[in-house]
Structure 1
């Protein structure tokens, strides 16, 4: 009797086992490559963040030195600052006196605002001719470098007696003029303004 030898199924089993092992090895290799790439990317990011942290630490140290130097400044610097502020102050009472003194007739000085070397006057007039005359008077004063009419608008005074009545801008209107002036600081500090 001849023995029953079946070689074919054994070869198929080894091929299946080899293919399975190959797939497992490729998966393991892919996982290793994936984690290796991530390790290098994360490592690079960590080094970059450490470098940024070092730069920020250096900046903090420099700023703390600057703060310490500012806190330790001698009082002479503060005194110089106060003296400078005292020499730069401007007495606006002269400006207000000139603005009020030049109002004539129906003109009514309503207010002033000041910023840097510019002042704005608000003046009420019965006629625009009065506003023009007022601006000419201010232009002739040595305290002002420039005098310009910023805006002029008509309005009607409303009182308790005429609140119900229809307002007539032609007959009883007044004018609000906003006049901008540039101040001459040297003249103000030296006592100018007549």
Structure 2
């Protein structure tokens, strides 16, 4: 396998791992290379992406590597997140927010398991809207990031504490968050109709 092939694989692995990051040891195992050889390939990929894909970059956090947006486009991402078309939360974001609200602190992998689909984009949307924030790391392999809701979350839905969230059914093995989704959606609608609400400030 040539170097370009290794870099294509690494790029895909970084994308799939999302905000959890790609562990050097895991990448080396997939590529069947030593960690030093894998690190060399990651450095080559970082250089090539800087030239070919300037909007993205690879950051290293200890033994983890993560694909992130370049600092130079941060103002544009914030502008997109704050735009009027982005104000209302999507169904995916509402589902993800409900899961975090009722299970915090929680990792993205755990969110994915509950939803049954990838939630990276929804989590990032909630972070950009300041409704969710990082809350340390779990004591698990890879030390995945934990997420929890913010004070802004309470303000956005006009509630004073998490205790005001509707109780979920407890007679099932995995309580459904459909009721919570509906609760958040109704609050979004109420806030949208009320010009003085916090909804329009996001």
Higher fraction of strand:
1
Structure 1 length as normaliser, TM-score? 0.21
Structure showing greater Rg: 1
Q: Normalized against structure 2, the TM-score is what?
A: 0.20
Where relative contact order (Cα < 8 A, 6+ residues apart) is larger, the structure is 1
